[in-house]
Amino acid sequence: MEQCSEEDKKRFVEETVEKYARFINPGLVRLFKFANFNTVEWKGKGAKVWDIFGNQYIDCIGGFGVFNVGRNHPRVVEAVKRQLDYLPLSTRTLFNRQQADLAEMLAQITPGELQYSFFCNSGAEAVEGAIKLARFYTGRKKLVSALGGFHGKTMGALSVSGREVYKKPFEPLLPETYQVPFGDAEAMAQAVDEQTAAVILEPIQGEGGIILPPPDYLSEVRKICDARGALLILDEVQTGLGRTGAMFACEHYGVVPDILALAKGLGGGVLPLGAFMSTPQIWTVFEDNPFIHSSTLGGNPLSCAAGIETLKVLQEEEIPQQAARKGEYLLSALQGLAIQFAPLIKEVRGKGLLVGVEFFDSDVASLLAMEMAQRRVLVAYTLNNPKVIRLEPPLVITKEELDLVLEVFEASLKSVQGILEEIGG
Ligand code: PLP
């Protein structure tokens, strides 16, 4: 296809868009076209993607934070190719070495007594499993989570997520789910009681708009859970595996959860892989009937091979440390731009390479994303807070690429400012 004429490529794009409109979702076509995401992706490497015409983009969306080790990391790709020739999927009745190795490695790198893993295919599935485990172990039903939180779009995960627009059409959701403002330990203390199975939180809210909690919030929540016998589930689907400058964001706050949910970067940006983990004590409830929770494809050897190599790369290439350094650089440069464009930007915040720029107006945020796409840097707003543009590039992004992102950000802000002046905004 790369060798084809421009005409053939244009036809290829038209056909793809047409198929989206007829067989996937016409609304998505309108949205993508409106946002200038109007081409077909073709290949990726590190922090870059190329479309079918050979146009190069710096990808600061990264599948919403999937590419921690970069796109197509050669070691992960090689590990997957090796496994592919032997046993991509499991019998589900014989022991599988890849799953055993990955579970052991996760036990070694996670904090506290987290030791056992159940593997699945996505973040939402990891959250579903975490909720079921908490209910099973405690024998309680009630779940407390945070407003603005995001845990996925399956029924259970949606029930503990915090934006009405995504929930309302699907009600009734899980009963006995309660939401409190994120960062408010007092509100949490009032909501959690002796009927509470678990509190589920992201250590730093991603889709809620990259919201960092007050420094002692998570340790307060930990104490509240312990005092009432409720479990603490931390959803590190987006913050985990180096994204925030530590292997797990909970390490910044010195808090260990009872149950940890992971996905996104776990498959190395090559394959889908999720997991929820817990302690030997809590996992005892799964012993009597090991099939009480199961998944046909979750934790398949191919994905686990990707996971094993990803964890090695994360450690050997010191990816979390890279994210910490690069994140500081990006954050301080963006804070400079926030001063320069003070009438547009309300705040810049983040940790590691999970960075959010909050605008006063969500239309300005959308306009900026469109302007940046035109200049071939991909960013997007956060799902539960459209006023915030998130930048979460692959953690291997280079200094030169970050500088280019900053240049494009500034040029796009100037354009947006010009457009607003023209329309008298
Ligand atoms: N939890 C968090 C914190 C997330 O950010 C997401 C997705 O963005 C999910 C869960 C859901 O993951 P998935 O889309 O893989 O189901």
Cα(151) to centroid of ligand 1, in Å? 5
Q: Closest Cα to atom 12, ligand 1: which residue? A: 123
The atom of ligand 1 lying closest to the CA of 64 is 8
Q: Can you read off the two tokens belonging to residue 267? A: 């498959």
Is 230 within 8 Å of 198 (Cβ atoms)?
Answer: yes
In-domain check, residue 39: no
Residue 371 dihedral angles phi and psi, to the nearest 5° = -60, -40
List pLDDT tens digits, range 260-319: 999 999 999 999 999 999 999 999 999 999 999 999 999 999 999 999 999 999 999 999
Whether 98 is in a domain gets the answer: yes
Task: For ligand 1, say whether the CB of 64 is within 6 Å of any of its atoms.
Answer: yes
Ligand 1, residue 264: give the atom nearest the CA. 15
In this predicted model, what pLDDT tens digit does every residue of 340-370 receive, in sequence order? 999 999 999 999 999 999 999 999 999 999 9
Give buried/exposed letters for 245-283 (b at 16+ CB in 10 A, else e): bbbbbbbbbebbbbbbbbbbbbbbbbbbbbbbbbbeebb
Q: How far apart are CA 167 and CA 362, in angstroms?
A: 21
Q: Over 54-118, what HEC string results?
A: CCEEEECCHHHHCCCCCECCHHHHHHHHHHHCCCCCCCCCCCCHHHHHHHHHHHHHCCCCCCEEE
Q: Is 150 a catalytic residue?
A: yes
Residue 269 lies in a domain: yes
CB 327 within 8 A of CB 351: yes
Does residue 203's CB lie within 6 angstroms of at least one atom of ligand 1?
Answer: no
Q: Has residue 55 been placed in a domain?
A: no
Is there a catalytic annotation at residue 235?
A: yes
| 336 located within any domain | no
Beta strands in 153-289 (DSSP E): 177-180, 196-201, 231-235, 259-262, 274-278
Residue 425's pLDDT is 58
pTM: 0.97
Which residues, listed in sequence order, are joined to residue 357 by a DSSP beta bridge? 348, 389
238 C-beta closer than 6 A to ligand 1: yes
- Which helix (H) or strand (E) segment is 142 a member of? strand 142-146
Pocket test for ligand 1, best of 66, 122, 145, 238 (most atoms within 8 A of CB): 238
Q: What is the tens place of the pLDDT at every residue in 208-267? A: 999 999 999 999 999 999 999 999 999 999 999 999 999 999 999 999 999 999 999 999
Q: What share of the chain is helix, strand, coil (3-state, %, to 5)?
A: 45, 20, 35
Asked if residue 396 belongs to a domain, the reply is: no
158 is a domain residue: yes
Please report the pLDDT score of residue 387 as a whole number: 96
373 domain residue, yes or no: no
Catalytic: 119?
no
| Residue 265: CATH number of its domain | 3.40.640.10
Domain count, the chain: 1
User: Which domain, by its residues, includes 312?
Assistant: 74-316
- Quote the ligand 1 centre to 12 CA distance (angstroms): 31
Q: Half-sphere exposure of 374 toward its Cβ, with a 13 Å CA cutoff? A: 13
